[in-house]
A and B are shown apart, each in its own frame.
Chain A
Amino acid sequence: MEFNWGLMFSSYAAVFTPGILFMICVGTTAGIVIGALPGLTATMGVALLVPLTFGRPPLESLSMLMGIYCGAMYGGAISAILIRTPGTPAAAATVMEGYPMAKRGEAGRAMAMALFASFFGGVVGAVIMTFASPFISSIALEFGPVEYFALAIFGLSVIISISGRSLIKGMMAGFFGLLISAIGFDPISGFPRFTFGMVEMMEGPPFIPTLIGLFAVSEVFNEVQKSGVTQQVKAKLDQYLPSWQDIKYCFRELCRSSIIGTVIGAIPGAGGDIAAFISYGEAKRASKNPERYGHGEIEGLAASECANNSCSGGAMIPLLSLGVPGDAVTAVLLGAFVIQGLQPGPMLYKEHIDIVYQIFASMMLAQFAMQFIGMAGIQLFARVIMVDRAILTPAIFVLSVVGAFAMRSNIFDVYTTLAFGILGYVMTRYDYPLSPILLALILGPMAEANLRRAMVISGGDPSILVSRPIAIGLMVLAVISLILSIRGHQKVEARMAEMEAQFEKAVAD
């Protein structure tokens, strides 16, 4: 496919009209708010607003949906940083660095970096989508059950990087999470496992309520217990953009994460949550200061936010060029296209190449809209943590319950949230990290279902697992990554011990 510069300029001109720009801004604003609300994901946001586009012209509707998609991916970071609740699963890795930063009074710095990283990743994703779609999309189809299994294993190797201080406890949390992910219908035979006879458990514990419970509700219990002891956070909110130093410091990770994010986005079925975790793990592994991770390291925050936004550009690639959605959001978008009478895929390139270019253009403009609207919103959102804790903490609980309920309108999900809240509180108290559970819940089903699927295809012959080059490559990467992270962990341990010794010496003196 030749790149058509003339068409690209005319598409930008078509999008650059007040009406379309307005729709992009409306979509982006709605997306940021939806993303920031716990329980409402980018997928949910797009799904809820698709009906509003019935009967509107294609460009208008699609540009609004692009805005929602991009806005929601960033919006998730807002609540992740401010109230330790990943607004969307893709922001789960952001919590690990963003919340400690906010607790240190650096909410403004964290928010500015999250926004800029999202913008940076979004732009890189959109550029790659514009220029390299046909090339990248050829990788997407190479992914069959064996490759997905290998990808899941590679993703799971990040567990060590997110394990915190005790490797053993991190692994326990990880395997516990994987076991939880096995609850519900067996992906191949359909046998309901560990359901205790409950219909609600047949699809496993619902992901969003689990996420909200583990992070937000457990922190509510923690806050309540400490109320009066902890000081009100005095946040400096004078930042709209990250400082030049911060950008320079994170630049390498921004570049790397945006590439990782785009590629993972382009693989059908792997979305922003996986991209963010893998980028975070890679950033920590490559960092000169891995011991700062988990205590508010801005580089880790930038990596995860950058990856989840570049993922949206990546996920559009197989959707547009193959008609195969790259993640859950684009699966919903596929429906929205069809309602517009457009069938994404090679035919779209042949028959409606103008629409394809207009989507490129509106995706790019949505990034700019996100940056500007986000800047306007930073002050407003960041004020949240200045709110009196006695009001904020109970309000977070109510919002968590609402978010858990909204997804499926099922009271069972509210109890799930509460149960995982208690679990999260107990685990944090005794030094078990929570993030490995989350990673396991995301990747566990992917690993199992695809391993079993591969076995069905091969008739039970395990040699199929080493029969394909991409899969072998990913497995080798997983092993390397495991070895390097264990060595990294030992390095962190040594430095921490050194620091503690120095501290004790200083106290003794």
Chain B
Amino acid sequence: MKRRTMLAGAVALAAGIIVTPALAAYPDKPVTVICPWTAGGGTDVLLRALAKAAEKHLGQTINVVNQTGGAGAIGHNAIRAARPDGYTLGMITFELNSLPPQGLVPFTWKDFDPLMRINSDPAALTVRQDAPYNTVRGFMDYAKAHPGEITIGNSAPGSVWHIAAGLAAEKTGVQVKHVPFDGAQPAVTALVGGHIKAVAVSVAEVKGQVQAGNLKLLGVMSADRDKIFPDVPTFKEQGVDVQFYTWRGLGLPKGVPAPIKTKLADAFKKAYDSPEFQEFAAKASLNLAYQNSADFTKFLDQNYKDVEAVMKSLGLAKK
């Protein structure tokens, strides 16, 4: 009997707390951040570093929860469907814009309330050190002269790097074979082992092998040169006008009250600016690219249109 009364009491107490407006003292309990990618991966590590730095500015514990699967679809959906009380937010990534054109998810970025952009990494064309070409042009000319020989590895079918490589090939009019791997790391390994001819992944993912002298960078698909490898020219400088980036940011479910959103934005901006996060980003060679909510929204709109157009022309979008 005693247990039953206690349980009843607990339920009543819980119900009582639910009706109390949570707004006044936000945040009065731990905040959850959903990561749509596996624990230990690049996105996860970045998010955990940021969350750790944000805890003291928010004055609450921040728990990172990995809700993975469906190429990011499950985690993004969980963020979208979360209770809009400011206690659940999540990291949104490039795939939010590449999944809808493939007809794989029933939502787009418009179903989210973008909080801030954190980083944006350009694709880079990387080949083996002993390859007979040193520029993007040289690579493309070689590909034209040797049809069927060039294989470019990417991280997954329909992934950001698959699209980037497809775009570059389309712009230069060469025929290449795209080889999807299970993540960027195995693709880079296959390149080092000489099983494929090139990879189109981010600079951070090839940095170690480039510094070790196994691989060389031919060009980066960004507006400006890379900070770590300032000697590597951009694609545009080499006469191939291609820019392609992956990005990560924080997103809220629609309907979070404005004062709470402001509090979250402040806390995470302070965390972003903190020396420990900046130092982390430098070590992980992330290309930090902060944008506030309004700019991030504009960016997402444009990015979505671009990605959809590219995927359609590459035949990756659903017909």
Which residues in B have their C-beta under 8 angstroms from that of A188?
A: 157, 180
Query: For the complex, what is the distance from the CA of A301 to the CA of B276, rounded to whole Å?
Result: 47
What is the chain B residue whose CB lies nearest that of A332?
Answer: B40
Q: Which of A189, A324, A345 contacts B157, CB < 8 Å?
A: A189
Chain B 36-76 interface mask (CB, 8 Å, partner A; 1/0): 00111110110011001000000000000111111101100
20 A-B contact pairs sorted by A residue (CB < 8 Å): A47-B40, A185-B156, A188-B157, A268-B189, A335-B41, A335-B45, A338-B284, A339-B49, A339-B280, A339-B283, A347-B212, A408-B66, A408-B68, A408-B69, A408-B74, A409-B66, A409-B78, A410-B69, A457-B177, A457-B196
Which of A195-203, A382-390, A391-399 sits within the interface? A195-203
Q: Which of B73, B177, B180, B181 contacts A202, CB < 8 Å?
A: B73
When the two chains form their complex, are residues B180 and A338 in contact, meaning their CB atoms are under 8 A apart?
A: no
Given contacts A338-B283, A457-B151, contact A324 B52 (CB under 8 A): no
Q: Min CB distance, B32 to chain A, in Å?
A: 10
Residue A54 at the chain B interface, CB threshold 8 Å: yes
Q: Which of B73, B179, B208, B316 contacts A323, CB < 8 Å?
A: B208
Which residues in A have their C-beta under 8 angstroms from that of B276?
A: 54-55
Which residues in B have their C-beta under 8 angstroms from that of A322?
A: 189, 192
Residue B302 at the chain A interface, CB threshold 8 Å: no
Which residues in B have their C-beta under 8 angstroms from that of A332?
A: 39-40
When the two chains form their complex, are residues B70 and A203 in contact, meaning their CB atoms are under 8 A apart?
A: yes
Chain A 301-337 interface mask (CB, 8 Å, partner B; 1/0): 0000000000000000000001111000001101100
Q: Min CB distance, B49 to chain A, in Å?
A: 7
What is the chain A residue whose CB lies nearest that of B153?
Answer: A453
Residue B104 at the chain A interface, CB threshold 8 Å: yes
Which residues in A have their C-beta under 8 angstroms from that of B180?
A: 187-188, 190, 453
Query: For the complex, what is the distance from the CA of A18 to the CA of B106, rounded to whole Å?
Result: 56
When the two chains form their complex, are residues B212 and A346 in contact, meaning their CB atoms are under 8 A apart?
A: yes
Query: For the complex, what is the distance from the CA of A269 to the CA of B185, rounded to whole Å?
Result: 10
When the two chains form their complex, are residues A409 and B177 in contact, meaning their CB atoms are under 8 A apart?
A: no
Query: For the complex, what is the distance from the CA of A453 to the CA of B177, rounded to whole Å?
Result: 10
When the two chains form their complex, are residues B186 and A185 in contact, meaning their CB atoms are under 8 A apart?
A: no
List the interface of chain A (C-beta within 8 A of B): 43-44, 46-48, 50-51, 54-55, 140-145, 185-190, 192, 199-200, 202-203, 206, 268-269, 322-325, 331-332, 334-335, 338-341, 343-347, 408-410, 449, 453, 456-457, 459
What is the chain A residue whose CB lies nearest that of B47?
Answer: A51
Q: Min CB distance, B148 to chain A, in Å?
A: 6
Q: Which of A339, A341, A409, A457 contacts B67, CB < 8 Å?
A: A409
Q: Min CB distance, A134 to chain B, in Å?
A: 14
Residue B130 at the chain A interface, CB threshold 8 Å: no
When the two chains form their complex, are residues A410 and B192 in contact, meaning their CB atoms are under 8 A apart?
A: no
Query: For the complex, what is the distance from the CA of A37 to the CA of B280, rounded to whole Å?
Result: 32
When the two chains form their complex, are residues B39 and A47 in contact, meaning their CB atoms are under 8 A apart?
A: yes
When the two chains form their complex, are residues B177 and A459 in contact, meaning their CB atoms are under 8 A apart?
A: yes
When the two chains form their complex, are residues B71 and A453 in contact, meaning their CB atoms are under 8 A apart?
A: no
List the interface of chain B (C-beta within 8 A of A): 38-42, 44-45, 48-49, 52, 65-71, 73-74, 77-78, 102, 104-105, 148, 151, 156-158, 177-182, 185-186, 188-190, 192-196, 207-209, 211-214, 276, 280, 283-284, 316
Q: Which of B48, B71, B178, B208 contacts A203, CB < 8 Å?
A: B71
When the two chains form their complex, are residues B189 and A141 in contact, meaning their CB atoms are under 8 A apart?
A: yes
User: A143-B193, A335-B45, A459-B177 are known contacts; what are 13 more A-B pairs with Cβ within 8 Å?
Assistant: A46-B40, A50-B40, A140-B193, A325-B185, A331-B40, A338-B284, A339-B284, A346-B213, A347-B208, A408-B74, A409-B78, A453-B179, A456-B151
Which residues in B have their C-beta under 8 angstroms from that of A456?
A: 151, 177-179
Q: Min CB distance, B106 to chain A, in Å?
A: 9
Query: For the complex, what is the distance from the CA of A408 to the CA of B68, rounded to whole Å?
Result: 6
Q: Which 4 A-B pairs have the closest CB atoms?
A: A190-B157, A144-B195, A47-B40, A332-B40
When the two chains form their complex, are residues A199 and B77 in contact, meaning their CB atoms are under 8 A apart?
A: yes
Given contacts A48-B39, A190-B157, A268-B189, contact A199 B151 (CB under 8 A): no
When the two chains form their complex, are residues A323 and B69 in contact, meaning their CB atoms are under 8 A apart?
A: no
What is the chain B residue whose CB lies nearest that of A344?
Answer: B208
When the two chains form their complex, are residues A186 and B157 in contact, meaning their CB atoms are under 8 A apart?
A: yes
What is the chain A residue whose CB lies nearest that of B180?
Answer: A188
Query: For the complex, what is the distance from the CA of A339 to the CA of B46, rounded to whole Å?
Result: 10
When the two chains form their complex, are residues B49 and A345 in contact, meaning their CB atoms are under 8 A apart?
A: no
Q: Min CB distance, B261 to chain A, in Å?
A: 24
When the two chains form their complex, are residues A343 and B158 in contact, meaning their CB atoms are under 8 A apart?
A: no
Q: Min CB distance, A463 to chain B, in Å?
A: 15
When the two chains form their complex, are residues A345 and B212 in contact, meaning their CB atoms are under 8 A apart?
A: yes
Q: Min CB distance, A213 to chain B, in Å?
A: 17
Which residues in A have their C-beta under 8 angstroms from that of B44?
A: 47
When the two chains form their complex, are residues B193 and A335 in contact, meaning their CB atoms are under 8 A apart?
A: no
